[in-house]
Amino acid sequence: MTTTELLDQLRANLGDDGVLTEPGDVAPYVADWTGALVGATTAVVRPANTDGVAAAVRLCGEAGVAVVPQGGNTGLVGGAVPDASGTQVVLSLGRMRRIRYVDPVADTITVEAGAVLHAVQAAATAAGRLFPLSLGSEGSCTIGGNISTNAGGTAVLRYGMMRDLVLGLEVVLPDGQVWEGLRPLRKDNTGYDLKQLFIGAEGTLGVVTAAVLRLLPATPRRATALVALPSVDSAVRLLPVLRERAGGRLTAWELLNRQTLELVVAHVPGARDPFRTPHNWYGLVELAGSADDELDTLLESALGAAVAADLVLEAVVASGPTQRRSLWALREGISEVQKVEGASIKHDVTLPIAALPKFVAQMAPRLDSVLPGLRLVTYGHVGDGNLHYNLSAPVSDDAALHAAAPELTRSVYDAVTGAGGSISAEHGIGVLKRDAAAALKSEVENELMRAVKRALDPRGLMNPGKVVPPDSASLLVTD
Ligand SMILES: Cc1cc2nc3c(=O)[nH]c(=O)nc-3n(C[C@H](O)[C@H](O)[C@H](O)COP(=O)(O)OP(=O)(O)OC[C@H]3O[C@@H](n4cnc5c(N)ncnc54)[C@H](O)[C@@H]3O)c2cc1C
C-alpha cells in the first residue's frame, strides 16, 4: 500500500477531520513538551472511538507503517513523539475524552483514554468521591498517558502509583484486534494479569482506549504546611514522625532545595518565600481527611514534635485554601520555570529513602568539579524516595551544560545504581533513557523485555525505538 493509499483509507475510516497532514496542523504533535525533541510524521490520526483506533492500527499494519500513540504529550522522555524519518503515524487519543460511567457503589469510574486527568478528578469529585492521582501536568495529561507511563505524582505516598488505581483496560493490540479487559473486578485470579503488561509500557505493546479506575473516599479537609529543614537527613527522619502522628492521613511529603525555591519565586507571578530568612531545604507536607478530621491540630502537634527534635527549623501552616494553593504553587511551578532558566538535564531517580542524604551530599561537589557553576534544581517526592535531581546550566551557558551532559548523567546514574536505586522513578524510559536503562539491566531482564515485545508486536510497529532497544533480528518490518 502506498502512502497516498494509506491516507485515503485512513480518511475513509476516520473522516477528513480525523487525519491531519498539513505542517501547521501536525506541528504540535511532533515536538515534545520540553521542545528539545522534534520529529516528523506522515500524518496525525485522531480517531473518535475504539473502532476508529482499531481501524487505524490495522491499516497502518497493512501498510507496514509504525504507530506512535499520543495522549496529552506532556511526557518528559520523548515517548510520545515520532522519530525524524517522517514515516511514522502519530495516533492521538485527543478526541476520546468521554467519562463513560461512575459507579459510586463499586467505587469505580470508567473513562476513555483521552480524558484529561483533571476532568477525571472533577468527575470523581462531582460524584462525592476522589480520584487521587495528582501531577503538575494534570490539566493536560491524559488517563491513557498516565496508564502508559504508570504515572506517580504528589499523592503516591498514600494512594500508590497509577498501577494501583487501574482495575480494567480496553486495548487495541498491534494487529488491530481489541482486547476487552474493561472489568471492574477487585478480585480476578484467572491467570496472567494482562492489564499489568500495558501499564507502564509507554505505548510499545498496544493502544489503551479505555480504563476502569478505582475511586476513593473524598477528602474535603486538608492541612498543609511548608517547613524549613536543616538538611535532607531531617526530611528523611521526619517521615516516620509524620506517619506516626498522622497515620493514613499523610498524603504528601515533598522536598525542594533553596535553588529551586528561588527559581520559582523569581519567575512565577505572585510566588513568594514565606520565611524571613533563607534556608537550604524545604518540605511541603499535606494531610487530607474527612469533614470530621481535626487535621490542623494533628499537623501542628506533629510539627511541634519535629521542632522539639530539631528536625524542623520553622514552619508555615496554611490558614485556608488560598494560602494552601500558594504553598503548592511553590512546588508545582518548578517544571515550567526550569524551561525559562535555559537548558537543563532532568534526572528522575529513586533511591532507598535512607540513602537520600548521602546521595545529595556526595553529588554536589562531584558534579561541581565536572561543571563549575552548575545549578542543582533538586526537588521531589521524598516520601517515595523519588528525587527530580535536575541540573540547570550555569547562568547563560547552555553550551557548557550540553558539552558536560554525558559525564554529569553518568555520575548521577553511577551513584544512584551504587545505592541500589533506579534511574527512572515515574517518568518512564521513552527514547531518552532507553539505552541507559538497558545497560543497567541484566541480560535475563533485557531478554524478558524483548520477549514480551516480540510476543505482542512481532513486526515492531507499535511505538518502535521506545523503551526496548530495537532487536534487529525480531523487529524487522518484513513487507
Ligand atoms: C509540568 C509537568 C509535571 C509533571 N509531573 C509529573 C509527576 O509528578 N509525576 C509523573 O509521573 N509524571 C509527571 N510528568 C510527566 C507526564 O505528565 C506524565 O508522564 C503523564 O502520565 C503523561 O501523560 P500524557 O497523556 O501527556 O502522555 P504522553 O506524553 O502523550 O505519552 C506518554 C507515553 O505514553 C504513551 N501513550 C500515551 N497515551 C497512550 C495510550 N492511550 N495508549 C498507549 N500508549 C499511550 C506514549 O506513546 C508515550 O510513550 C510531568 C510533566 C510535566 C510537563
Is the Cβ atom of 392 under 6 angstroms away from ligand 1?
no
Mean pLDDT, rounded, of the chain: 95
Q: Which atom of ligand 1 is nearest to the CA of 33?
A: 53
237 CA to centre of ligand 1 in angstroms: 31
> Tens digit of pLDDT for each residue in 303-330?
999 999 999 999 999 999 999 999 999 9
Confidence tier at 474 by pLDDT (50, 70, 90): very low
Binding site membership of 34 for ligand 1 (Cβ less than 6 Å): no
Q: What is the pLDDT of residues 98-150, one digit of tens each?
A: 999 999 999 999 999 999 999 999 999 999 999 999 999 999 999 999 999 99
How much distance in Å is there from the Cα of 410 to the middle of ligand 1? Answer: 25
* pLDDT exceeds 90 at position 478: no
Q: Is 121 exposed, middle or buried (0-12, 13-18, 19+ CB in 10 A)?
A: middle
Residue nearest to atom 50 of ligand 1 (CA): 137
pLDDT of 429 above 50:
yes
What pLDDT is recorded for position 299?
Answer: 96
- Provide the grid cell at 157: 505516598
**What's the CA gap between 173 and 284, in Å, rounded?**
42
**Grid cell listed for 51:** 473502532
Cβ of residue 464 lying under 6 Å from some atom of ligand 1: no
Task: Kindly report, residue by residue over 250-274, the tens digit of the pLDDT.
Answer: 999 999 999 999 999 999 999 999 9
Q: Whose CA is nearest to atom 46 of ligand 1?
A: 80
pLDDT of residue 338: 85
pLDDT greater than 70 at residue 81? yes
Our mutation pick for probing the ligand 1 site, out of 92, 149, 164, counting the most ligand atoms within 8 A of Cβ, is: 149
pTM, two decimal places? 0.95
The answer to whether 315 and 10 are in contact (CB under 8 A) is: no
What is residue 230's DSSP assignment? S
Q: Closest ligand 1 atom to the C-alpha of 206?
A: 43
Nearest Cα residue to atom 6 of ligand 1: 135
- 475 pLDDT more than 50: no
Burial 183-201 (b: 16+ CB within 10 A, else e): ebeeeeeeeeeebebbbbb
Q: Which atom of ligand 1 lies closest to the CA of 71?
A: 30
Atom of ligand 1 nearest to the CA of 202: 49
Query: Which of the listed residues 73, 88, 111, 135 should we mutate to test ligand 1's pocket, taking the one with most ligand atoms within 8 A of CB?
Result: 135
- The beta strand positions in 159-218, using DSSP E, are 166-172, 178-181, 207-214, 216-217
